[in-house]
Chain A
Amino acid sequence: MQASNTLWRFRGVTPTAMLAFVYLYLPIVVLVVLSFNANRIATLWTGFSFDWYLKVMDNDNILRATKNSLIIACGATVLATSFATMAALAMAGKRFRGQAFINAMLGLPLLVPEIVTAVASLLFFLALGLDLGLLTVLIAHTVFCIPFAYLPIRARLEGLDPRLAEAAADLYAGPFATFRRVTLPLILPGVLSGAMLAFIVSLDDFVITFFVAGAGATTLPVYIFGLIRMGITPEVNAVSALMLLVSIAFVALSYWMGQRKS
């Protein structure tokens, strides 16, 4: 890389890059390290311990919030990925009027400030007379997960030779058989990649969830926020570290899926 990129010839580029990485990752490293701290005071290191992780496993509230988070993330992932796949298929088919506009609309939620979506969702649910709870969180999550799931699927479809679907049709496969036997297997890495992104984004979400979750629908990020308000405890560190672990696993898996066979 150093041979092809002349940027590296300038003095100070390497230290600057390293500094940027420290800036990005040092807080996370500190959080993970402190989650193993034996001391009650989160920021004061006195020794190594797994206590806080055990405490987390023992805390019913945390377990309940985790369960909520997983139910919502799984549900939103399945729904958002299905919708996103259908949208991507529609967009990849024959050109139609307003296609560019619809494509832009599909990506727009990524640009809308989350607080706007949160307030809008809340008002919308109230206007419909829906009780705030797991269902409203699930609906809201499905909506904002769609563009995240859509992009990798669309990218994968773009790279797909349209002749393959024609070849399937030529060989007596109807539209559904063509999708099941040819299109879906070939875009599957994109679909899985999109699904994992959706899962992480859902698992992670705080702002929208905070607005549309009712009393019984507290998710992990919302619960952590509640804990933090009473001061940072090593328990919070441990929960956060666990979430980080899950996120990293999924992002890595998603990246690997996207790379495979492409």
Chain B
Amino acid sequence: MTGNRVAIEIDHVCKRFGAGEQAVLALDHIALDIRENEFFTLLGPSGCGKTTLLRMIAGFEDVSAGDIRLYGASLTGKLPFQRPVNTVFQSYALFPHLTVEENIAFGLEMRGFKPADINPIVAEKLELVKLSGFARRRPHQLSGGQQQRVALARALAPSPRVLLLDESLSALDLKLRKEMQVELKRLQRETGITFVFVTHDQEEALTMSDRIAVMSAGKLQQVGSPEDIYDRPANRFVADFIGETSFLQGRVADGQLHFGVAGSLSCQVLDQPHDGAAALAVRPERLQLASSGDGLGGVVAEVVYRGVDTVYLVQLADGQPCRVRHTNDSGASRLARVGDAVRVAALPGAFHRLQEAGHDA
């Protein structure tokens, strides 16, 4: 599925806005490789620089330092219309005075294709995004989801080496967004084009991506597969930004995790078993509530029923809060009530030791 060739090489790219003392470093030495045919996602909160990076690949922003290479060739100095990449804009940016088919044909015309060659490609792309009956419509006669698909077809029509998608699903409502996530993944598989997708929605990133780059405040935090990012977050930011996480402070000794008066767990910290203070991250679904037996002592502070699951906020005996998630698969939804004394047990490998242990505990 994922080739090994590097499609885009982001080589220590910086972006400075403004000059002199007021200059802001929007991107701080970003270095990463995007491989051929992969669905690569730039993920981060708004203002983290992910869109700026995407716009730099497209050519809409200058690179302040560093270089971006497409299949080994530097893109520096190349204007947007000279780059074999196409963009799906957040606002779609469909040409309002052109019909759907004219929009899709635009890039092909500009590349000098003959009308006879353009028509079958346009028809094929319309088919691909399931809009065959809409060729003669104008953008304003389409729904948001349909406009989105026209934007996709238009960007795919000239067969770009890389497709850039800028927060392309964020304008859609939840249900449509879920549909389009599957649709995008299908398109990527069918076309075999490298997708670079920008989003602030971690769930969307996990659902669609082959690999994800997590960014924050202009810095790259972690690059890896969705499993890497979710199971082995590189730092506190990533652990916090992706999914739900409880952060706990403990001690590792004799292969055991100790939490002061709350007790200890035999569950090992897989990646870093050495002794000492440990900043730990744990996902709520890997903790379990037990009324007695092994586990950390605590009191239920809050119960949040969410339909598919219930989340218990437990105040451990040593004062640290943690979240425990139970799937409501057996119907017996409430395991405990607020104020109940409970024990919190962990699945093997539940705890992940964060690298900055001791620095910001």
Which of A171, A172, A186 makes the CB contact (< 8 A) with B96?
A: A186
Least CB distance, A166 to chain B, in whole angstroms: 6
| Cross-chain contact B81 with A167 (CB below 8 angstroms) | no
| Cross-chain contact B97 with A185 (CB below 8 angstroms) | yes
For chain B, which range describes its interface: under 10, 10 to 19, 20 to 34, or 35 or more residues? Answer: 20 to 34
Residues of B within 8 A of A171 (CB): 81, 86, 106-107, 110, 154-155, 158
Does chain A have a CB within 8 A of B134? no
Known pairs A171-B107, A171-B158, A173-B106; A164 contacts B86 (CB<8 A): no
Does chain A have a CB within 8 A of B95? yes
Residue on B nearest A174 in the bound complex, by CB: B81
Residues of A within 8 A of B361 (CB): none
Does chain A have a CB within 8 A of B58? yes
**Cα-based distance from A178 to B79 in the complex (angstroms):** 13
**Cα-based distance from A166 to B59 in the complex (angstroms):** 10
Does chain A have a CB within 8 A of B192? no
Least CB distance, B308 to chain A, in whole angstroms: 38
**Cα-based distance from A163 to B166 in the complex (angstroms):** 12
| Cross-chain contact A172 with B93 (CB below 8 angstroms) | no
Known pairs A181-B106, A186-B96; A172 contacts B89 (CB<8 A): no
Does chain B have a CB within 8 A of A89? no
Least CB distance, A160 to chain B, in whole angstroms: 10
Known pairs A166-B89, A166-B93, A171-B158; A177 contacts B80 (CB<8 A): no
Does chain A have a CB within 8 A of B146? no
Residues of B within 8 A of A167 (CB): 87, 89, 93-95
Which of A163, A177, A178 has its CB near the most chain B CB atoms (within 10 A)? A163
Residues of A within 8 A of B89 (CB): 163, 166-167
Does chain B have a CB within 8 A of A105? no
Residues of A within 8 A of B111 (CB): 172
Which of A164, A169, A177 makes the CB contact (< 8 A) with B95?
A: A164
Which of B59, B91, B97, B158 makes the CB contact (< 8 A) with A186?
A: B97
Dominant secondary structure at the A interface: helix
Does chain B have a CB within 8 A of A182? yes
| Cross-chain contact A173 with B93 (CB below 8 angstroms) | no
Q: How many residues of chain A have a CB within 8 Å of chain B?
A: 19
Does chain B have a CB within 8 A of A58? no
**Cα-based distance from A181 to B81 in the complex (angstroms):** 14
**Cα-based distance from A170 to B158 in the complex (angstroms):** 11
Least CB distance, B61 to chain A, in whole angstroms: 11
Least CB distance, A191 to chain B, in whole angstroms: 14
Does chain A have a CB within 8 A of B305? no
**Cα-based distance from A110 to B89 in the complex (angstroms):** 40
**Cα-based distance from A57 to B58 in the complex (angstroms):** 63
Residue interface bits B70-102, CB-to-A below 8 A is 1, else 0: 000000000111000111010101111100000
| Cross-chain contact A163 with B93 (CB below 8 angstroms) | yes
Does chain B have a CB within 8 A of A161? yes
Does chain A have a CB within 8 A of B17? no
Least CB distance, A208 to chain B, in whole angstroms: 37
**Cα-based distance from A249 to B260 in the complex (angstroms):** 88
Residue on A nearest B58 in the bound complex, by CB: A170
**Cα-based distance from A169 to B110 in the complex (angstroms):** 10
Which of A161, A163, A169, A186 makes the CB contact (< 8 A) with B81?
A: A169
Least CB distance, B79 to chain A, in whole angstroms: 7
B residues 118-170 near A (Cβ < 8 Å) are 154-155, 158
Does chain A have a CB within 8 A of B60? yes
**Cα-based distance from A166 to B154 in the complex (angstroms):** 14
Residue on A nearest B55 in the bound complex, by CB: A166
| Cross-chain contact B87 with A170 (CB below 8 angstroms) | yes
Known pairs A170-B80, A172-B107, A177-B110; A163 contacts B91 (CB<8 A): yes
Residues of B within 8 A of A164 (CB): 93, 95-96
Residues of A within 8 A of B155 (CB): 170-171
**Cα-based distance from A96 to B111 in the complex (angstroms):** 32
Residues of B within 8 A of A173 (CB): 81, 106, 110
Least CB distance, B134 to chain A, in whole angstroms: 19
**Cα-based distance from A261 to B91 in the complex (angstroms):** 19
| Cross-chain contact B96 with A166 (CB below 8 angstroms) | no
| Cross-chain contact A161 with B91 (CB below 8 angstroms) | yes
Which of B86, B95, B158 has its CB near the most chain A CB atoms (within 10 A)? B95
Least CB distance, B238 to chain A, in whole angstroms: 31
Residues of A within 8 A of B97 (CB): 185-186
Does chain B have a CB within 8 A of A168? yes
| Cross-chain contact A172 with B158 (CB below 8 angstroms) | yes
| Cross-chain contact A166 with B60 (CB below 8 angstroms) | yes
Residues of B within 8 A of A161 (CB): 91, 93
Residue on A nearest B157 in the bound complex, by CB: A171
Which of B93, B94, B158 has its CB near the most chain A CB atoms (within 10 A)? B93
Least CB distance, A170 to chain B, in whole angstroms: 5
**Cα-based distance from A200 to B97 in the complex (angstroms):** 29
Task: Give B residues with C-beta under 8 Å from A.
Answer: 58-60, 79-81, 85-87, 89, 91, 93-97, 106-107, 110-111, 154-155, 158
Given A166-B87, A171-B155, output 16 extra A-B contacts at Cβ < 8 Å.
Answer: A161-B93, A164-B95, A166-B58, A166-B89, A166-B93, A167-B87, A167-B95, A168-B106, A170-B80, A170-B85, A171-B86, A171-B107, A172-B107, A172-B111, A172-B158, A173-B81
Chain A to chain B: the 3 pairs with minimum beta-carbon distance, closest first: A171-B107, A163-B93, A172-B110
Q: Can you name 16 A-B residue pairings with CB atoms under 8 Å?
A: A163-B89, A163-B93, A164-B93, A167-B95, A168-B95, A169-B60, A170-B155, A171-B81, A171-B86, A171-B110, A171-B158, A172-B111, A173-B106, A174-B81, A186-B96, A186-B97
